[in-house]
Structure 1
Amino acid sequence: MLSSLPLDERRGLVDKMLDRSQAGAIFHDPMFAAALEEQFLFFDGRRYDALAWCIMPNHAHVVICCHSEISLGQIVRTWKNQTVRAAAASRGRRVEIFARDYFDRFMRNGIQTQRAIAYVEQNPIAVGLCEASEEWRFSSAWHRARGWMPKTENLPISIGTGSY
């Protein structure tokens, strides 16, 4: 059934299933969520510019602007590998955290990018995990409320605080 739907509809259904599911909710554990967030921020400004992220209980959303020398696949592999290593070190054994693949979406202009950022940061609110995006600890909204700002000088968007 899913394969017969257009790609955007499939992605929407997958997002809804992930948001409602508690299966594989490994990021309920703050240690795992912190390890993944640390990976998102580690290469920020070097391999990519992080614009937004949100680590949900069983999945994560990230909006980045890739630097041309590093592919998105390489970036995602690094996040996954380093997070698994940190989890294994803390648990004393290898931990399966991630699906084999990932969904990506190319933003063609500032409007699409701002919509993606808003979607990512509003995700915890949409599923009832918090009332304001800056309350969700493992998110760019939480960091922005405490002074973090994405690097947007080379992008056709402007990012402020509050709603988009």
Structure 2
Amino acid sequence: MPDLINYERRLPHRLPPGETIFLTFRLAGSLPQQVINQWREEDELKRNRLELNSEQRYTEQKRYFGRFDAQLAKADYGPTWLEQPEVAGLVAQALHYFDGKSYDLLCYCLMPNHVHLVVSLPVEAPPLLKTLQRLKGYTATQANKLLLRSGAFWQAESYDHVVRQGELARIIAYVLENPVKAGLAADWQQWPHTYLAPM
């Protein structure tokens, strides 16, 4: 098994076995394309203008993701199918299905139009890319049946990054507090679509 799994679509993805990974994926059409294009251009210009060291690149990546996440949290554009209990339940069930098989599930939060997920990858885990393809493919098919629709359900691209030493507690808190920050619940434990593994 390779030490590092790289694949590219619009973003580089480094998902090494033996690491903990923070992932976000969203519903297709949940952000305006013109806004995404503008942010990508701005991000590319900044990266081309500046020679960034690894710490600066990491900071810029977090800032870039933060813009997407803040816009998604508003849920004011595109579909919000995950707010339907049957659809959210289907996705939650699929996330748990792969727990202990392809990853160790640490926490997740299903928002109306996106999913935050933190998993730990065993050293001998199958490539996370393949697991995500299976998970998203299955849930897309089943959710479309529930919704009596066809077409793209998930956006193809996902956001991910390796959780650095010392930041796991902060990231888990960030994931769980998403519905509180969005005004959907007064406390994360009141939100029916969150999960925190027993520690």
- What band does the TM-score fall into relative to the shorter chain? 0.7 to 0.9
Q: Which residue of 2 aligns with 1:155?
A: none
Whichever residue aligns with residue 135 of structure 2, its letter is W
The separation in 2 between residues aligned to 1:130 and 1:92, in whole angstroms, is: 29
Which stretches of structure 1, 4 residues or more, deviate above 6 A after TM superposition?
none
Among candidates 103, 108, 133, match of residue 48 of structure 1? 103
The normalised TM-score by structure 1 is 0.79
1:101-112 to structure 2, matched below 5 A, reads 101-109=157-165, 111-112=166-167
Q: Which residue of 1 aligns with 2:22?
A: none
Task: Give the count of matched residue pairs.
Answer: 143
Deviation at 1:140, TM superposition (A): 0.6
Gaps of 5+ in 1: 142-147, 150-158, 160-164
- 8 A Cα contact 2:144 2:153, kept in partner: no
Deviation at 1:92, TM superposition (A): 4.7
Deviation at 1:133, TM superposition (A): 0.5
Q: Which residue of 2 aligns with 1:87?
A: 143
Other structure's SS at 1:140 match: strand
The separation in 1 between residues aligned to 2:180 and 2:148, in whole angstroms, is: 34
C-alpha RMSD of matched pairs (Å): 1.7
Whichever residue aligns with residue 77 of structure 1, its letter is Q
1:4-153 to structure 2, matched below 5 A, reads 4=45, 6-22=60-76, 23-67=78-122, 68-109=124-165, 111-141=166-196, 149=198
The separation in 2 between residues aligned to 1:24 and 1:134, in whole angstroms, is: 25
The normalised TM-score by structure 2 is 0.66
Q: Which of the pair has the greater relative contact order for Cα pairs under 8 Å at 6+ separation?
A: 2
Whichever residue aligns with residue 47 of structure 1, its letter is S
Gaps of 5+ in 2: 1-41, 47-59
Kindly, what percent of the aligned residue pairs are identical?
A: 24
Deviation at 1:90, TM superposition (A): 2.8
The separation in 2 between residues aligned to 1:3 and 1:35, in whole angstroms, is: 37
The separation in 1 between residues aligned to 2:87 and 2:152, in whole angstroms, is: 11
Q: Which residue of 1 aligns with 2:8?
A: none
Deviation at 1:49, TM superposition (A): 0.6
Q: Which residue of 2 aligns with 1:162?
A: none
| Structure with greater strand percent | 2
Deviation at 1:4, TM superposition (A): 3.8
